[in-house]
Amino acid sequence: MSDDQAERPSSADRGFDFKTRLDDREERGLRRDLTPIESVRERSRYAEDPGADQPVFGKQPEMVVFGSNNYLGLATDERVQRAAGDAAHSIGTGAGASRLVTGDTPVHRALERDLAEAKGTERALVFSSGYAANVGTITALDPDVVFSDAYNHASIIDGCRLSDAETVVYDHCDATALSEAMADRAPKSSDESWLVVTDSVFSMDGDVAPLSAVCDAAERYGAWVMVDEAHATGVFEDGGGIVQREGLTERVDVQLGTLSKALAAQGGFVAASEPVVEHLSNVARSFVFSTGLSPPAAGAARTALSIARNGSRRTQLWDNVERLRTGLESLGLDVMGTTHILPVVVGDRSEAVELATHLTEAGIIAPAIRPPTVPDGQSRIRLAPMATHTERDIEQCVTAFERAEGKR
């Protein structure tokens, strides 16, 4: 060992003692491990976390997956896969550069035109992820004040932080609280730009924001409204989201979404007026300084959007949602929400983890959601049925809950 190596302080001496940090997370019940999945479909095999090595699936039985955001089951649809392959063959596997350099391709433009049509806006812009879309859009809009729902997604929270805007958090899904917060600030802030930001469907509770009332409050005080439709795009009327279902397209200034859930690809998007999108394409740093969305992802998302708008997958999804909700409630379980996300409330963190273990033993993958993702005392099993689940799959899930409840 050289003298330099001998004198160099350890990583712990400089505050990078990651073993201690991980041990602390373990003690608080926050440590998580990666669980490799063999394929993204209704049934798949899982493997233990292999660290840096390849996962080994071995002879594990297939599990029925109820923890996926692949709501319409399109990730393994042959039409979507073929569209991804066609884009890779004709354009390339990667965009090659930022969209503002040489990464803007026909498949990006075609997808954006289709998204704008589905969302009823003049134009759309795709980002490399939904997270990048939120962070880039909020910072580029550069509001003085952001009014944010208490349960908004982490990407919205981080966008607010990075924007340097003053952030006012209002009570979850409470338009009255939003209006009161605006009224309290109005007398001293006549020149400020205000932005109201909310998810439409909340991913942990499965509930829906009162968008009409939110728009009422925003219009009363001259604020803009931005709605993240990540968990709604593709599963409601004409493949749109809650904004379209409620007829609020003209009242919502900025619509966001993701291509990685119901649209079974990767990426995010913003749909808005021509001036807004043109501004974002020049100013949103997560767009300007990032390689464009990969052509295969853009091609896959475009075909998935077409299927969502024109096929029967949405009907199949909602039939499965109703079938699963009815089965769970017949067991006396508390099922939250009004959407395709079905959280089964357990309460205690350890009991939720125990229930998830029992479900796994019965062949059902449905993760336990616990603090800090949800508040203390509200741990739950988050179920997300897919359009491609069979009646047998739904019955197996309900039976697994019935047996698991008997073991608790």
Task: Give catalytic residues, as residue numbers.
Answer: 203, 231, 261
Classify 126 as helix, strand or coil.
strand
Bond into 143 cis (ω within 30)? no
**DSSP secondary structure letters along 275-308:** HHHHHHHHH-HHHHTSBPPPHHHHHHHHHHHHHH
Q: Which residue has the tokens 């390849």?
A: 54
Find residue 291's DSSP bridge partners: 98
**Assigned token pair, 237:** 């009327």
**Assigned token pair, 15:** 């505050």
Q: What are phi and psi of 299, to 5 degrees?
A: -65, -40
Q: Which amino acid is at 222?
A: G
Pairing of strands 368-369, 379-383: antiparallel
Residues 269/136, Cβ–Cβ less than 8 Å? no
Q: What are phi and psi of 234, to 5 degrees?
A: 95, -20
Q: Which amino acid is at 335?
A: V
Pairing of strands 166-170, 63-65: unpaired
Distance between CA atoms of 259 and 71, rounded to whole angstroms? 12
Q: What angle do CA 135, 21, 33 make, to 5 degrees?
A: 70
Distance between CA atoms of 180 and 177, rounded to whole angstroms? 5
Distance between CA atoms of 40 and 13, rounded to whole angstroms? 43
- Burial (CB count <10 Å: 0-12, 13-18, 19+), residue 116: buried
CA distance readout (Å), 190 to 144, 145, 180: 11, 12, 16
Q: What angle do CA 71, 74, 77 make, to 5 degrees?
A: 155
Classify 223 as helix, strand or coil.
coil
Distance between CA atoms of 367 and 166, rounded to whole angstroms? 35
Distance between CA atoms of 343 and 12, rounded to whole angstroms? 40
